[in-house]
């Protein structure tokens, strides 16, 4: 089951636990169906790509029923109905009707139904990942408004009383939220039957009252940090560092092969290596991740989140590191090759025993920079369902609004990791340079 995990009160975290109206509602559905549910957290703008590629079976994330989705997916009967609202700053009196958004900017998930509502009203849609970030942009005055689900907005305003935001307009559009699956899944008739049972016996109303019957209270910022610092550090040890280490080692091995191919006089080796380096240095890493994870399944190659991340990161590292290693080898004086040849070494032996040890000293600083960049780039893996450290910070910040504090903690953790790597780099440089004349 795909869900955002950063959209309170429908899908969010309390400490390390995923909860919310949509999560609890479908848990009840699953119990009645006798099936086990695994929740896969992914940004909204990637959630239908994950469904289309078979990464998930269903979506439970306040999916609004509309003709486009009805034509493309199997949709359940609505399990909650609400309306849309326009949110502006307290001091903004210029928006009193939906049409007043014309010419103004509105922060939206660009693939959401609410983005279409704002666009039809004439607003300039500014793309954001989630509603909490949209609200933050409105508070800061960077955009004029946001349009979103009334229940989600009222929950946000009750937990963020100092946000400086208010509901200016309630739209006439009714939003019917449904579960979504791929065409031909065959699961929706059973889901629909269960929804009807839950409506009839009062289970659905009890779940609704749990989340919307009382005003929510936001915990203090310090409480939020204490609740989430453990999971963030844990994700460093279980995701960020292993992902970095595996990808760097594999990328470095491939980089050496590419560097030697680039130095070869054989065009059949040199040209493919040059094209590889050009492609992977010339395209964004995030695009490479999405191609591997969401694109390759269309060709019959389906890798899990971790293998996809390792593959994309390794190939990206290889492209950059290959040029570093190539330039380091070229920096070794030609006389070293000649000296090795005069004592009977062939080219392969001279490369291994004479050239590469000298090139390593030159390559260590730029390769260390590549490694440090990779540590930070692992944050992009959240886009393909890998829950690494920065994703944990986003999950914690969504319901609390403690962006500065939690993102600051994440930045501090990244800095500590990179500082330690910098110390290791300095020691390695000293060791490799101990026989170099000063």
Cα angle, residue 216 at apex, residues 167 and 168 outer, rounded to 5°: 0
The whole-number pLDDT of residue 397 equals 80
DSSP 185-199: ---HHHHHHHHHHHH
pTM of the full predicted structure? 0.69
pLDDT in tens, 250-296: 999 999 999 999 988 888 999 999 999 999 999 999 999 999 998 89
β-partners of residue 180 are 59, 75
Instruction: Residue 7: name the closest of 69, 74, 60, 85 by CA.
Output: 60
Greater confidence (220 vs 171) lies with 171
The whole-number pLDDT of residue 86 equals 95
Structural class in CATH, domain 2-80+176-210: alpha beta
- Whether residue 217 is predicted with pLDDT greater than 70 in this model: the reply is no
- Taking a C-beta distance cutoff of 8 angstroms, is the pair 400, 221 a contact? yes
- Specify the CATH architecture of the domain 81-175: 3-Layer(aba) Sandwich (3.40)
- Whether residue 242 is predicted with pLDDT greater than 50 in this model: the reply is yes
CB neighbourhood size of 199 (10 A) = 13
Q: What is the mean pLDDT of the segment spanning 343-356?
A: 80
The whole-number pLDDT of residue 341 equals 79
Tokens of residue 172, six digits: 């006439």
Distance CA 8, CA 131 (A): 9
β-partners of residue 146 are 87
The whole-number pLDDT of residue 330 equals 87
The whole-number pLDDT of residue 157 equals 87
% of the chain surpassing 90 pLDDT: 55
Greater confidence (112 vs 376) lies with 376
- What ranges do the domains of the chain cover? 2-80+176-210, 81-175, 222-432
Q: Which CATH number fits domain 222-432: 3.40.50.1010, 3.60.40.10, 1.10.1240.10, 1.10.3720.10?
A: 1.10.3720.10
> For tokens 């086990």, what's the residue?
36
Quick check: do 81-175 and 222-432 share a fold?
A: no
CB neighbourhood size of 256 (10 A) = 16
Distance CA 297, CA 293 (A): 7
For residue 132, name the pLDDT band (cuts at 50, 70, 90).
Answer: confident
The whole-number pLDDT of residue 438 equals 46
Distance CA 7, CA 22 (A): 10
Give the burial string for 137-158 (b: 16+ CB within 10 Å, else e). Answer: bbbeeebbbbbbbbbbbbbbbe
Greater confidence (244 vs 348) lies with 244
- Whether residue 399 is predicted with pLDDT greater than 90 in this model: the reply is no
Greater confidence (350 vs 289) lies with 289
The whole-number pLDDT of residue 437 equals 46
Q: Say whether the peptide bond before residue 273 is cis (omega within 30 degrees of 0).
A: no
The whole-number pLDDT of residue 93 equals 92
Q: What is the mean pLDDT of the segment spanning 223-228?
A: 79
Q: Which of 57-71, 164-178, 391-405 has the lowest mean pLDDT?
A: 391-405
- The DSSP 8-state label assigned to residue 435 in this structure reads T
pLDDT in tens, 50-104: 999 888 999 999 898 988 999 999 999 999 988 889 999 999 999 999 999 999 9
Distance CA 13, CA 398 (A): 9
The whole-number pLDDT of residue 71 equals 93
Q: Residue 67 belongs to what H/E stretch?
A: helix 67-72
For residue 319, name the pLDDT band (cuts at 50, 70, 90).
Answer: very high
């Amino acid at each position: 089951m795909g869900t955002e995990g950063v959209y309170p009160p429908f899908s969010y975290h309390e400490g390390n636990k995923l909860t919310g109206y949509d999560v609890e509602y479908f848990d009840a559905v699953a119990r009645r169906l006798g099936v086990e549910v695994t929740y896969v957290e992914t940004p909204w703008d990637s959630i239908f790509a994950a469904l289309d590629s078979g990464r998930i079976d269903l979506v439970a994330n306040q999916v609004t029923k509309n003709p486009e989705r009805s034509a493309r997916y199997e949709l359940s009967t609505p399990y909650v109905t609400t309306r849309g609202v326009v949110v502006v700053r307290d001091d903004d009196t210029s928006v009193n009707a939906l049409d007043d958004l014309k010419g103004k900017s509105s922060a939206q998930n660009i693939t959401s139904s609410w983005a279409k509502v704002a666009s039809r009203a004439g607003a300039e849609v500014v793309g954001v990942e989630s509603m909490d970030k949209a609200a933050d942009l409105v508070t800061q005055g960077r955009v004029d408004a946001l349009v979103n689900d009334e229940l989600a907005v009222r929950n946000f305003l009750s937990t963020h009383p100092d946000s400086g935001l208010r509901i200016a307009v309630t739209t006439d559009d009714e939003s019917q939220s449904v579960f979504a699956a791929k065409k031909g899944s065959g699961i929706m008739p059973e889901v629909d039957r269960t929804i009807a049972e839950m409506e009839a016996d009062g289970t659905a109303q009890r779940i609704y009252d749990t989340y919307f019957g009382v005003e929510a209270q936001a915990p203090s910022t310090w409480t939020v940090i204490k609740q989430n610092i453990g999971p963030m550090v844990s994700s460093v040890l279980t995701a960020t560092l292993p992902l970095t280490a595996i990808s760097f080692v594999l990328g470095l091995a491939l980089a050496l092969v590419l560097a030697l191919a680039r130095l070869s006089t054989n065009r059949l080796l040199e040209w493919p290596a040059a094209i590889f380096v050009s492609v992977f240095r010339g395209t964004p890493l995030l695009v490479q991740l999405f191609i591997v994870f969401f694109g390759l399944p269309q060709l019959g190659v389906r890798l899990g989140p971790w293998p996809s991340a390792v593959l994309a990161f390794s190939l990206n590292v290889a492209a950059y590191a290959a040029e570093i290693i190539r330039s380091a080898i070229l920096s070794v004086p030609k006389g070293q090759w000649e000296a090795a040849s005069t004592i009977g070494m062939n080219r392969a032996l001279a490369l291994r025993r004479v050239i590469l040890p000298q090139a390593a000293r030159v390559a260590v600083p730029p390769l260390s920079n590549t490694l440090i960049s990779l540590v930070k780039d692992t944050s992009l893996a959240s886009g393909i369902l890998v829950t690494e450290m920065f994703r944990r910070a986003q999950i914690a910040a969504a319901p609390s609004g403690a962006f500065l504090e939690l993102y600051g903690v994440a930045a501090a953790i990244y800095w500590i990791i990179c500082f330690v790597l910098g110390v290791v780099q300095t020691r390695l440089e000293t060791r490799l340079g101990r026989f170099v004349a000063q």
